[in-house]
Structure 1
């Protein structure tokens, strides 16, 4: 029987094997259930320690899962029975800030909000802001190419990554990218690792691009629509206009009702959908007025406008409200922006046909939806039925030219659906890349691709 003695000797004090510790590091925030306990957890503090752990796993053919804060929603960080969990949470140092070049160098375990706070001291910001940005780590954001409310204007994680430090499956340490704006030397390995979900290598550090913090007054508008489809049409009109919102979010009636029960904000539950947008610039008031007009032209029954974040409050607490409601299974599909109205109509039909509530909120400006299937108990049968309905939702997104995941990643929960989106030849190309970087298949096997 294999033991962890060799691993422990090489990494004194960093290896956890107690049952309580193994349990704590075995799961993430998703509904994926670990099939057994890992053999050990490596609580790494340096890239060299990560490399040593990977070399041990490679010698012993031990599957490796990688964990940051455990906020992932796709089951990508769940431990393997008898596997090694490599935790990067203690690699939490901000190594340097270069305001002149708008760059910041960090370890993978730094919390995303802390990066933004450090940048703010120089009048800069780290733009990507996933809903979990106060808890999630940058390594996990890079692994899943996370998005957020601000990505409609500033792009997703990959748009802010300049360079990476990565531990490969044999323990070799490589560095990709550069600090320059232009760089065409070699393949674009940086983009390859971003979003690879730990299947090609373990990101231990990153050089990130910063943006100037937006100047001007924050002005928010909130529009109520008689149907989610009409709200979708307003989104298409706004995104095809000359104005560029910093935030553009949509909530359907079911999610609004849940939010108002959990955290009353004064939202009307009379309409079928609420669209909320924000502009931060010297022209923010004029831009919000244009957006409000486009909403009315698309059929909005009521439009409010105010300075600051007050009108955004309901959207920011929607995830917590749904969690407080409990007993739900969710996914994150995305469709082309012009098909957003069609997707909401499809969700309404699936909800009616299956006689189940599907509260949905969306990063409307980039077509990314987060539907949840409400279930009434925690039985295996109830979750299986929810998964069946989520498959219907995923299939509909694909029919509209969309994707099975916009920002959460494939992980283990959507692994069975990858073949629906990637044809055999394309998936085989992915597998060749996987085999080249991880020939023995020890890094996050059976997930991602």
Structure 2
């Protein structure tokens, strides 16, 4: 492989080709502890599309697989190295190429941090909606590859809903440009949506044209507490049925609430479930939305409801929701799942997770985006115990099975990666799997990009 390393150094510079095992170990895996990973031949950090093309051509010539990677914040193992691969890291490609306020769009490279983009466009009175929990360090390239979501999905959708087009380096090193800058456009297949969510299995995204929205009003916040998850679930279902669309609607179960109370040293005054909603419609419109939701919660059996326009109070309440994973670290390591169920089945999912928790003998906290049914059951275990790790893995799979039984899907925003391949096959069936493999074969006949991720060849 020395010949390949020589070509890679010529393409991107010696400093951008890392081979020291003590250094490359930091690029072996993402945040998912269950997913397998290997030892890469090298980690390469290109700084331009042309360098990415050169790396792809060199690896293709030497039949060396490429695993594209952003910041490594993923939770499915999609960016995990395999033995002998080249990990292609896009974090150096971090330019915001253009912000066009008149057409409400931005053109960015994949290494741009989500929060940095949001801050940059805010100066123009604009807003980039996708906000994954790791938005302060995850990159746009990773968000595109996994079709990431976040807390605001109920109103603004997931990443693909904000993508107008992408530039992608294909397996032969050529550059494909998809989409357009116009609001409308239906010429040809929608190749943009094909690549968004493809988890680096079809090509390397090197640039994206993103749709922006007008900066929303400062949010007003509602919190409602319930003494049963059934009541909380009924409130969510009725909010959806009545057509109220807040900018955020999050749910926390009893285990999440108790962990956060201990972590933040506060009292959330909730027994079984807490519902947190925000409206960024502003003024009277926000008051109407939250008043309607407050009435629904009261009618559904809420023990307490509280509405505030105070930004500090709203931030504090949102901090409680965002602190769940950090709070659970008080009890051990965590393993977070990602299932999406019909919104009227959220209570059933929480109840099912309580049963799985009892049978596994492990703490399982459920929190998530109630507005779109995307829930994150999180399993706490002792990483030094092989027995607990095995039980955590078994519980993880049982939760995926439960999600499918409830009419849901195995992932709402984290992706399939290397941890849910068998479950993807179960969900989409043999015909769906055949179509996936056909697309992969057409675009990447040598299985160059991220082999073994999403599904086996």
TM-score interval, normalised by the smaller of the two chains: over 0.9
Q: How many residues are paired up?
A: 447
Judge conservation of contact 1:219–1:279 (CA < 8 Å) in 2. yes
Q: CA deviation at 1:34?
A: 5.5
Q: Output the CA distance in 2 between the equivalents of 1:59 and 1:416.
A: 31
- Partner in structure 2 of residue 159 of structure 1: 161
Gaps of 5+ in 1: none
Deviation at 1:249, TM superposition (A): 0.2
Q: CA RMSD in A?
A: 1.5
Q: Write the deviation string for residues 274-293 of structure 1: whole angstroms up to 9, x where unpaired.
A: 11001122221222121111
Q: Is the 8 A contact 1:340 1:367 kept in 2?
A: yes
One of 288, 295, 298 as aligned partner of 1:296: 298
Counterpart Cα distance in 1 of 2:423 and 2:35: 18
Question: Where does residue 11 of structure 2 map in the other structure?
Answer: 10
| C-alpha contact 1:236 1:337 (8 A) present in aligned 2 | yes
CA distance in 2, matches of 1:377, 1:70: 20
CA shift at 1:350, angstroms? 2.2
Q: Kindly indicate whether the alpha-carbon contact (under 8 Å) linking 1:221 and 1:277 is maintained by their aligned counterparts in 2.
A: yes
1:277 alignment partner in structure 2: 277
The CA deviation string for residues 56-100 of structure 1, in whole angstroms up to 9 with x for no partner, is 111111111111111011111111111100000010000001000
CA contact (8 A) 1:102 1:210 kept: yes
Does the 8 A contact of 1:334 with 1:397 survive in 2? yes
1:180-239 per-position Cα deviation (integer Å, ceiling 9, x unaligned) = 111111110000000000001111110000011113x52111111112222111111112
State whether residues 28 and 37 of structure 2, in contact with CA within 8 Å, keep that contact through their aligned partners in structure 1.
no
- The TM-score normalised by the length of structure 2 is 0.95
User: 1:307-346, CA deviations, whole angstroms, 9 ceiling, x for partnerless residues?
Assistant: 2223222002223223454322221000111222222222
Cross-structure match for 2:256: 255
Residue 33 (structure 1) shift: 5.8
Contact 1:221 1:311 in 2 (8 A): no
Q: Deviations over 1:110-140 (max 9, x none)?
A: 0001111111111110011000011000000
Q: How does 1:218-367 map to 2 (within 5 A)?
A: 218-269=219-270, 271-281=271-281, 282=283, 283-307=285-309, 308=311, 309=314, 310-367=316-373
Equivalent residue number for residue 182 of structure 1: 184
Correspondent of 2:408 among 395, 402, 413: 402
Matched, 1:437 2:443: yes
Map 1:75-86; keep pairs closer than 5 Å.
Answer: 75-86=77-88
Task: Show CA shifts across 1:359-408 (max 9, x none).
Answer: 01010100001001222343333222111111111111101110011100
Q: Which residue is equivalent to 1:118?
A: 120
For the residue of structure 2 that corresponds to 1:153, the secondary structure is helix
1:41 is aligned, of 40, 43, 60, to 43
User: Separation in 1 of the partners of 2:266 and 2:77?
Assistant: 32
Deviation at 1:170, TM superposition (A): 1.4
Contact 1:166/1:204 (8 A) holds in 2: yes
Is the 2:256–2:366 Cα contact (8 Å) retained in structure 1? yes
Counterpart residue number, 1:191: 193
Asked if the contact 1:64–1:80 (Cα under 8 Å) also holds between the matched residues in 2, the reply is no
User: Aligned partners of 2:448 and 2:126: how far apart in 1?
Assistant: 39
1:153 and 1:325 map into 2 onto residues whose CA distance is: 34
**Matches of 1:108 and 1:102 in 2, distance apart?**
19
String of CA shifts for 1:22-59, please: whole Å, max 9, x gaps: 11221212214654321111111001111111111111
Q: Secondary structure at the match of 1:366?
A: coil
Secondary structure of 1:365 counterpart:
coil
**In 2: Cα distance, 1:332 partner to 1:374 partner:** 15
Match of 2:138 among 123, 136, 139: 136
Q: Does the CA-based 8 Å contact 2:108-2:208 persist in structure 1? A: yes
Runs of 4+ in 1 over 6 A off after TM superposition: none
CA contact (8 A) 1:260 1:267 kept: yes
Taking structure 1 as the reference length, the TM-score comes to 0.96
- Distance in structure 2 (CA, Å) of the matches to 1:322 and 1:95: 39
Shifted more, 47-56 versus 338-347: the winner is: 338-347
Say if 2:210 is the partner of 1:204.
no
In 2, the alpha carbon distance for the partners of 1:133 and 1:170 equals 32
Partner of 2:393 in structure 1?
387
